[in-house]
Amino acid sequence: MNSKFQHIALIGKHQSAQSAPSTPSSREVIERVAQFLAAQARHVYLEADTASNCGLHEHPILNIQEIGQRCDLAIVVGGDGTMLGFGRQLAPFGVPLVGINQGRLGFITDIALNSIEQALTPMLEGEYTEDCRTLLHAQVWRQGDCVFDTLAMNDVVLNRGATSGMVEIKVDVDGHFVANQRADGLIIATATGSTAYALSAGGPLLYPSLPGLLMVPIAPHTFSNRPIVLPERVEIVMELVAGRDASVNFDMQSLASLSIADKVIVKRSELQVKFLHPKGWTYFDTLRKKLHWNEGNS
């Protein structure tokens, strides 16, 4: 038996333990995985909010910091949003994550509900593909003070207000002026985030291990204002020049309101998120399945 993964945390979607009638609930899936791991003689732990929301108390309960300190693997049951949130929180501890997809798309939660045991058995024995993903470190500065500081795995998005017109954003990269962009907003995305909002805004797909960042305008006023791929080791500064009720969000999970002259500074974090996939996993398999490439071909 591989001794590497002996202490395993189970984490589920926090919002609700319920799911669609045809889909097992988070509680049912977590109970199933816990029973499987216990049968494999692994030590099983439950993340605190997961245990509370699902009403599960059969295993020791840990908070995120305790998981980071005591566990050598975390299995996340949910969709990509759940994986993004816990990936950021566990990144400082270097705990690898495995995703069981209970959401819709599943770009980074890739084990299907009907193949949990089949996929996990060889992974627990050390047969897996390791996949390290870039994190963004983002700050909001106002009148010389940092008023918001966080991480993002997908993207940092400066958006116009819901009922207002375009925003104007002064963009600098490594201290060099790029342009004053007039648009509905601007996306700074990692390769992981290239399949999220950036893709909807017309950005390219980036292979996950590619060392680059995407800058993608949202509905730009000037048609020639196109997406650009930047080196990974740059500092991007977005300064709000004009626009009412603007805000900036991080992985669509946290939000900061912006005032005129606020600056959003984005650069690559020194931290990474480590995903484990079943042996033989490839990014192209994911793209074909999730983006419906090759449909109609047999």
Distance CA 214, CA 187 (A): 8
Evaluate whether 278 touches 115 at the Cβ level (below 8 Å).
Answer: no
User: 148 and 120, same structural domain?
Assistant: no
What's the burial of 34, exposed, middle or buried (CB within 10 Å: 0-12/13-18/19+)?
buried
Could you tell me the pTM of the whole model?
0.92
Evaluate whether 149 touches 256 at the Cβ level (below 8 Å).
Answer: no
User: 144 and 264, same structural domain?
Assistant: yes
| CATH code, domain with 243 | 2.60.200.30
- Written as one string, the DSSP assignment of 215-255 is EEEES-SSTT---EEEETT-EEEEEEEE-SS-EEEETTTEE
User: 254 and 211, same structural domain?
Assistant: yes
Inter-CA distances, 88 with 18, 72, 261, Å: 24, 16, 28
User: Across the strands, what pairs with 183?
Assistant: 167
96-150 residue pLDDT tens: 999 999 877 678 888 999 999 999 999 999 999 999 999 999 999 999 999 999 9
Q: Tell me how far the alpha carbon of residue 186 is from its chain's centroid.
A: 18
The residue range of the domain holding 227 is 135-270
Q: Taking residues 78-82, what's their average pLDDT?
A: 91
**Average pLDDT value over all residues in the chain:** 92
| Predicted pLDDT of residue 1 | 45
Q: Taking residues 166-177, what's their average pLDDT?
A: 97
Structure tokens belonging to residue 207:
């292979």
43-72 residue pLDDT tens: 999 999 999 988 898 999 999 999 999 999
User: 161 and 121, same structural domain?
Assistant: no
| CATH code, domain with 120 | 3.40.50.10330
10-23 residue pLDDT tens: 999 765 444 455 67
Residues taking part in catalysis: 80
Structure tokens belonging to residue 247:
């805000």
216-247 residue pLDDT tens: 999 999 988 999 999 999 999 999 999 999 99
- Phi and psi at 64, nearest 5°, equal -60, -45
